Chain A
Amino acid sequence: MPEIHVRNIVKEFGDQRALDDVSFDVAEGELFTLLGPSGCGKSTTLMSIAGFQHPEAGRIAVGDDTFFDAVAKIAVPAEQRNLGIVFQSYAVWPHLTVFGNLAFPLKVRKLRRDAIRARVRQVLELVEMLPYEQRYPHQLSGGQQQRVALARALVYSPSVLLLDEPFSNLDAKLRERARAWVKELQGTLGLTTIFVTHDQDEALSMSDRVAVMSAGEVQQIGTPEEIYRRPANRFVAEFVGRVNLIDGLVSGSGGGGVVVDVAGSSHQLTVNDGAGVSGSVTIAVRPEAVTVMRLDDRSVDGMNTWEAEVETVAFLGDHYEYDVKAGPLALTVQSSRRVEGDRIRVHIPPDACAVVE
């Protein structure tokens, strides 16, 4: 299973720039996710790798094969790239049976009939669809069609697997099962995979690494933890999960980070991030990273601990959500604890703060 290199891809539709200098590398056997809002260029990136779009500039290689190079004028046709793709619509061919769908790529490769039969059955078994071999797509449920689409993409042992929002047509329950299942399959087979989604939960739960995209540009590449805990900028912080954004001015440094005067209040926030920055900054803090305690609870004290007014409390099953105001500073806090009282104390651990701007 080779690695994938995408270098400085630029793609324009008319005068609109759909991809602006997109670069990333996917390691062997890795599940790499492109995450971003609708229209940010995820599919365009994937289709450029697959060979259905030809970028204006850049280079794309899988292993030692250069698929695309704008300078050297290389553009390997899609059918010669030997990639497995699952499309958003599944694109299971409606006029062929499940068997026929899986047999087609093998027929194109001129395999003998018995070899085709054996291989198709093997892969159908892998995706647990063997009993449906002779069915037509319209006789299958959405989840089953999706398995057929995946099996068809796997049947010829492609060098890499590309998945374009493969779960978006499934209902919530099924989607969760399908995620776990695809993740497991990908791990077992050790497939280098690029996965496209606009669903952050999906991206965080399945990926080895994530590239967050916006408006045709890659904003950040990192493991799910890095993306979530250390968002590189405001967009990533806001797009991936919920976040409190605190504006302020750097007033000092210390402990591998900085001290920030929170704008419009007398609070000072110590941050274990952003060593060396100065001037005005924005700090991102996840709601569940903030600790809440009773006013008289002194178990945590000192820096980043303030009194706050509780505005609303909502019970959400597995946690409570508080909207509080520490002076002029509004914060959203998630906690499994119910803290009584109109006034409470909140604490922001310095480790939970990320400088995003």
Chain B
Amino acid sequence: MTATSYEQTFPRPRRSLVPAWALHWGTWLLVVALIVGPLVPLLYASLRDRPLYEAGGVLTVQPYRELFGDSAFWHAWGNTLAFASLTTLMAVLGGALVAILVTRTDIAGRKTLGRLILLPILLPSLGMVLGWLVIWGPGGYLTAMFNDRLHLPTLPIDTIPGMALVEATRLLPIAYLTCQAALSRADSSLEDAARSAGARPVRVLSNITIPMLRPALLNAATLIFTLSIAALGIPLLLGTSNNIVFVSSYLYNTWTNATTPDPGSVSAGAVMMLLVATALLVLRNRLLGAEARFVSVGGKSGRQALLRLRSARWPLTGLVAFYLVFTTLVPIIGLALMSVVVVLTPLVAPWELLTSAHWQVLLDDDTFRRSIRNSAVIALVGALLTTAFVALATLVAHRSGFRFRRTLPFLMLYPRATPGIIIGIGFFWAYLITGAFGDYMRGSIWGIMLAFCVRNLPLAYIVMYPTLARIGEELDRAGRAAGAGWWRTSRSIVLPLLKPALFASFILMFVEIINDYDPAVFLVKPGTEVMGATMLAQFIQGTVGPVSALAMVQVVITVVVLSIGAKLFKIGVSGGEHGA
């Protein structure tokens, strides 16, 4: 071919209608509005002498004075901190132990155990607490069996240590994932060297492996502590019999039992929780390099020489299996049983008490029916919207020249540290003061959906970022050089390559949103109920059977969606990137 036939002039590519800078600014402003937006009215509400919707009013620290003057509030803080510390201790130790067993030893069924151990954090948290309650609670099935029939003591889960145990089993996967990532990244040659120098395996573990894990342990501990401070279902479901109140349940009770509606002291308490959570997040960012926060799980493990457990192999395998059975399987079986019997008691065989009444309620009762439908709609639409929006924001954060792009990762991770009820209160106030828009959001399920989406969007980011980081930047530069603008390049080149992460994010968001409840407790109204909030409200009124059935609905949806996701997109491992 000659130069003349090669040379042709082509039209210059046209600039896109919406310029990239407008898209970048729009995305950034929306992120700020969604994440910081609800916190501003909350802060404002905590500094006024009357609710935001009432005219007049002056700035005052009265709500804080009121709150700080209430000894019950300080008592609640004491309980919360004791609970959070115990939870953190148990979850971190347990998670690290399982991570070491699964990555460094020849324990039987390593892969399967590694997957199953992630399950608790993905299962509906409220449902699981209920499952614990019907099995191990005061008067629970196995409690009664052990105490009355076998005359053996059981751990009372309606005490602070018991509650911490329940929460620790839910959060253990976070510690497991963080440690597992650190271990598979770390070079095992140090350990091998020590072992060949004659050190006994236990020594190697205590002198080399565990010090190596220290950053991961600290990281996991801070996150678990932050998350457990926000626990709401546990004090409401397990704490009431012994009158153990946490900050979250204190705020919940004050709000729901208040003589004057929407007391400012609740906002003040929420602001205080928010400050604590923010301080912990900042601390965590200090502890970690920006990079270390996103280790890709997996990597080059497997090539390491595994420590042979010898005679301890089967006992240890049994121990982990036992743990899984008693903390995950048994509560689920309890829930399932509870949903089909009149009462659950060891005195009478369950099959003699079978009933379909509880499930019938789900079909007949308007509230329950609506809850299921609303939750399904919210989860589907919310997962789609969150995935799309977070994808856009992640691209702006990491693949654009936008001036404030570096603020986006922090902003998007922030809700991870924000307790769910605070997001709920924040949106409550935000909707109250935004006129027609707020009224519409308050009166429809979309208001709740938005709160759920914001609450869970950090996980979408955590899933997407590592995949994006692996897509070479030259690929999008090639697109730009070829004449495509920022958006066209993102749409035609980066997003298609990001597809697996987008699917994983969608699945994860769906599961998280369908099981979420605490942001909704201040937002639900007749007509906009969602499953989690209905379960909480109904349980507090003493309805256990239908609530168990509803929890089973959540469990089944979760398991089915996750298995579909794992089958289709092999996201079994990355689905658990909660750890980051």
Which of A's residues lie within 8 Å of B, judged by CB? Answer: 47, 50-52, 54, 77-85, 87-89, 91, 93-95, 104-106, 108-111, 119, 122-123, 125-126, 149, 152-154, 156-157, 188-190
Contact = CB atoms under 8 A, between A and B. Distances in A.
B474 A105 contact: no
A76 to B, nearest CB: 11
Interface in B139-171: none
A116 to B, nearest CB: 10
B7 interface: yes
Nearest to B497: A95
A104 B493 CA distance: 10
A78 B485 CA distance: 8
Interface in B400-421: 401
B476 to A, nearest CB: 9
Interface in B220-279: none
A190 B11 CA distance: 21
B481 A189 contact: no
A109 B475 contact: no
B541 interface: no
Nearest to B12: A82
Nearest to B1: A126
B6 A189 contact: yes
B488 A91 contact: no
Contacts of A94: 497
7 contacts: A52-B477, A77-B480, A80-B12, A80-B13, A108-B484, A110-B14, A156-B483
Given A81-B481, A153-B481, 16 more contacts: A47-B477, A78-B481, A79-B483, A79-B489, A104-B479, A104-B492, A105-B482, A105-B484, A108-B13, A108-B483, A108-B484, A109-B12, A122-B5, A156-B483, A157-B10, A189-B7
B554 to A, nearest CB: 36
Contact of A85 (B477, B485, B492): B477
Nearest to B9: A157
Nearest to B476: A91
A80 B481 CA distance: 8
A153 B6 CA distance: 13
B496 interface: yes
Contacts of B492: 104
A189 to B, nearest CB: 5
A10 to B, nearest CB: 18
A189 B15 contact: no
Q: In the complex, which of the residues A123, A125, A189 has the most CB atoms of chain B within 10 Å of its own CB atom?
A: A189
B1 A122 contact: yes
Nearest to A75: B401
Interface in B463-482: 472, 474-475, 477-482
Contacts of B497: 93-95
B112 interface: no
Contacts of A93: 475, 478-479, 493, 497
Contacts of A109: 10-13, 483
A67 to B, nearest CB: 13
A110 B493 CA distance: 17
B10 A91 contact: no
A-B residue pairs, 4 tightest by C-beta? A105-B482, A91-B474, A91-B478, A87-B474
A168 to B, nearest CB: 13
B8 A119 contact: yes
Nearest to A154: B6
A105 B1 contact: no
Interface in B489-544: 489, 492-493, 496-497
A93 to B, nearest CB: 6
A108 B488 contact: yes
A47 B488 CA distance: 20
